[in-house]
Structure 1
Amino acid sequence: MTAFFYIAAALAEIAGCFAFWAWLRLDKSAWWLAPGTVSLALFAYLLTLVDAEHAGRSYAAYGGVYIVAALLWLWAIEGAEPDRWDLIGATVCLGGAAIILFGPRGS
């Protein structure tokens, strides 16, 4: 279930941030801010559903998922194909996220 919440949170965060980007950088209507704000609130809520003992560790692990989601957004929504350095970087970040999330913890 953790992966689902991370993926849903990433989509909500990117969509919310893109709404602000569209308003400020693409000269879209300020009405884009309404769904953007709702999306960002949904993002914050979804991260609270992740089964983790500490918020900071949950957020740190989420970072890797966010990076991959952002590159997918780049490709699917913005039409720019990620290059090999994007893919290598995303792989490294996902590896780091897995270590943070699933690494053994001492008592």
Structure 2
Amino acid sequence: MTAFAYLGAALAEIAGCFAFWAWLRLDRSVWWLVPGIASLCLFAYLLTLVDAEHAGRTYAAYGGVYIASAVAWLWLAEGMRPDRWDLIGTAICLAGAAIILWGPRPA
């Protein structure tokens, strides 16, 4: 469930933020904000579904997933192929997220 919540949240956040980007930077209609705001609300809701004891840890681990999703968006939605530095940075962020999520903790 955690992986689906994180991936859904990342897609919702990127789509919501892109709606604002499209309005402000690409001169799209202000109506782009309607689905954008709904998408950002969905993003916030999906993060509450993650089974974690502390919100801060949930958000910190999500950051790595968000970065990987943003690089995928760069490639799939914007047509810009990630370079090796994008991929190396993404791998480092995902490793950090994994440590935050699954690192050993005292019971």
TM-score (norm: length of structure 2):
0.99
Identity of aligned residues (%): 77
Cα deviation for residue 102 of structure 1 reads 0.5
User: Where does residue 63 of structure 1 map in the other structure?
Assistant: 63
User: Where does residue 40 of structure 2 map in the other structure?
Assistant: 40
Structure 2 unmatched ranges of 5 or more: none
Deviation by residue 1:65-105 (Cα, 9 ceiling, x = unmatched): 00000000000000000000000000000000000000111
Which structure 1 residue ranges, 4+ long, deviate > 2 Å from structure 2?
A: none
For these two proteins, the number of residue pairs brought into alignment is: 107
Deviation by residue 1:9-66 (Cα, 9 ceiling, x = unmatched): 0000000000000000000000000000000000000000001100000000000000
User: Where does residue 102 of structure 2 map in the other structure?
Assistant: 102
Structure 1 unmatched ranges of 5 or more: none
Q: CA separation in 1, counterparts of 2:92 and 2:52?
A: 22
Q: CA RMSD in A?
A: 0.5
Establish whether residue 75 from structure 1 lines up as the match of residue 75 from structure 2: yes
